[in-house]
């Protein structure tokens, strides 16, 4: 039985896993879980992941959630090229170090900007308060400063001379604000060059395909006030917590 991959490609962690399996020719069956209409709460999906979050996988009788855990599992099981998750202990530790750090230092801030710029005007009818947007942008800028000085330094990639899981996760999460017209890497030639290298290593066609869902999400959001009031209310609650 092929690996079953449960994703919504509007989600950054899902895109990371999707790109990885496609890039490494890992056979899989795509199982779409549409977050915007609440399919993660279905009885069927809760049998796969009681936490009701994507991505998740089923590999025979084995089910696994959390994108970082999934990426490491797939890299080891399918013996993907060593650069993704190096056998060398110190290189692997560098990848693990970044993956442990990024959740609250880059992903949270990038996602916050996306939610504010994409959804706040839709659910409230007005622009995001300037002070809150500046605060989110400043937080992301500080995270990027740490990313460059601590993790990337003067290397082509986070773990050295080749792309790794760390670079894949990083670039996908930093595409989130770019999808709403805000480039967090603007003004940094070093980080822009890193982004170009990573996209080239992944492959432009695959990278673009994985990110089509961002634009599709933006289009589908336009109909939410009329067609899905309960989902609109959930979005509003999630966005308003960022303004406290």
Give the pLDDT band of residue 234 (cuts 50, 70, 90): low
Residue 203, Cβ neighbours under 10 Å: how many?
A: 13
Is the separation of the CB atoms in 176 and 111 below 8 Å?
yes
Q: Which of 85-94, 131-140, 151-160, 235-244 has the weakest average pLDDT?
A: 235-244
Q: Which of 34-38, 121-125, 181-185 has maximum average pLDDT?
A: 181-185
- In 14-150 the beta strands, taken as DSSP E runs, fall at 28-32, 56-59, 62-65
Positions of CATH 1.20.1050.10 in the chain: 89-243
Q: Which of 13-17, 155-159, 176-180 has the weakest average pLDDT?
A: 176-180
* pLDDT greater than 90 at residue 125: no
At 155, is the secondary structure helix, strand, or coil?
coil
189, exposed or middle or buried, with CB in 10 Å at 0-12, 13-18, 19+? exposed
Positions of CATH 3.40.30.10 in the chain: 3-77
Q: Measure Cα distances from 148 to 9, 52, 94, 110, 126 in Å.
A: 27, 34, 14, 16, 35
Q: Please choose, from the candidates 185, 197, 170, 48, the residue with its C-alpha nearest in 3D space to the C-alpha of residue 105.
A: 170
At 4, is the secondary structure helix, strand, or coil?
strand
* pLDDT greater than 90 at residue 115: no
- Report the chain's mean pLDDT, rounded to a whole number: 89
* pLDDT greater than 60 at residue 53: yes
Which CATH number applies to 89-243? 1.20.1050.10
Give the pLDDT band of residue 185 (cuts 50, 70, 90): very high
Topology annotation, domain 3-77: Glutaredoxin (3.40.30)
The two structure tokens encoding residue 101: 């750090």
* pLDDT greater than 80 at residue 230: no
* pLDDT greater than 60 at residue 154: yes
């Amino acid at each position: 039985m092929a690996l079953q991959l449960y994703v919504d490609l509007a989600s950054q962690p899902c895109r990371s896993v999707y790109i990885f399996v496609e890039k490494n020719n890992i056979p899989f069956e795509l199982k779409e879980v549409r977050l915007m209409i609440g399919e993660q709460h279905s009885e069927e999906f809760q049998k796969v992941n009681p936490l009701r979050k994507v991505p998740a996988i089923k590999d025979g009788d084995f089910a696994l959630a959390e994108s970082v855990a999934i990426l490491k599992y797939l890299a080891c099981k399918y013996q993907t090229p060593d650069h993704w998750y190096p056998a060398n202990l110190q290189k692997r530790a560098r990848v693990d170090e970044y993956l442990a750090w990024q959740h609250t230092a880059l992903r949270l801030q990038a996602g916050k900007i996306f939610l504010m710029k994409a959804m706040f005007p839709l659910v409230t009818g007005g622009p995001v308060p300037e002070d809150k947007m500046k605060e989110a942008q400043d937080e992301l800028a500080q995270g990027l400063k740490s990313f460059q000085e601590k993790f990337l330094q003067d290397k082509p990639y986070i773990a050295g001379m080749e792309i790794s899981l760390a670079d894949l996760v990083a670039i996908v999460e930093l595409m989130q604000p770019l999808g709403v017209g805000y480039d967090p890497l603007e003004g940094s030639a070093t980080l822009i060059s890193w982004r170009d290298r990573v996209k080239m290593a992944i492959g432009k066609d695959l990278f673009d395909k994985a990110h089509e869902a961002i634009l599709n999400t933006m289009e589908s959001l336009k109909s939410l006030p009329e067609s899905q009031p309960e989902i609109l209310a959930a979005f509003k609650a999630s966005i308003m917590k960022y303004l406290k």
